[in-house]
Copies of this chain bind each other. A is one copy, B any other.
Amino acid sequence: MKIKIINPNTTQAFTDALQTLGNAVCQPDTEIVAISPINGPSTIESFYDEALAVPGVFEEIIKGNKEEGVDAYVLACFGDPGLYAARELTSKPVLGIAEAAFHMAVMASACFSVVTTSARMRFMTEHLVTRYGFDAQCKKIRTTPMRVADLANSPDEAVAKVIAECISAREEDHAEAIVLGCAGMSPYREKIEQAAGIPIIDGTVAAIKLCEAMVGMGLGTSKVLTFNWPRPEMKTN
């Protein structure tokens, strides 16, 4: 099967990292294609950035449906930008990485905390947790004083901050798993897990495996009503 990872920002280094990550975790018969839209913000750190990234996501889904034979889509930004709209554009599965990480966290543990980047992301993350129904299982949203770009520019320092928050989550929040709240943290997942002594869940990996699971059981996006094609002529598969 073919899974398309859409990195909604235009930073190619992140996209390349997602391709590498996807190749490492997918099944032997899964093809991973990680891309960025041509236009859009270079990072997503506000609702405004998120909204600007969405039209590029749509283009990639429409192209994936019409031209590329894609079987499932991963939206690789922790805000799950445009998720519900993206589902309208295809009958294939579309998973956001926040959503995917939360589902995996509650199947693997009694409760979890989220460790994300700047304080500004707290409100957005709270909304995601509530929207998907994980209020009771999410113990706390922890932010670290960093920008997304710090993960690329000074990774050692940034990762040390993340590890410190993961340990606090385990000891103070009584969390039993951690969801990484930024796709940029993905390459450091294993290192963080070993240092913090608690399962660390990366949303991109979670979304890829959940896409494989859905495709494997013939499950796509229900077109019964809400996520039906926006206009009949858009129907592609």
Q: Which residues of A contact B (CB under 8 A)?
A: 25, 27, 45-52, 54-55, 58, 82, 84-85, 87-89, 93, 95, 99-100, 103-104, 106-111, 119-120, 122-124, 126-127, 130-137, 170, 174-177, 197-199, 201, 205-206, 209-210, 212-214, 216-217, 219-222, 224-228, 230
In the bound complex, residues from chain B placing their C-beta under 8 Å from that of A226 are 109-111, 120, 122-124, 176
A133-B135, A176-B227, A227-B176 known; A108 vs B222 contact (CB < 8 Å): yes
Contacts of A214 in B (CB 8 A): 104, 107-108, 209
Asked whether B225 lies within 8 Å of A217 as measured between CB atoms, the reply is no
Contact A213 B209 (CB under 8 A): yes
**A170 close to B224 (CB less than 8 A):** yes
**How far does the alpha carbon of A72 sit from the alpha carbon of B177 in the complex, in Å?**
18
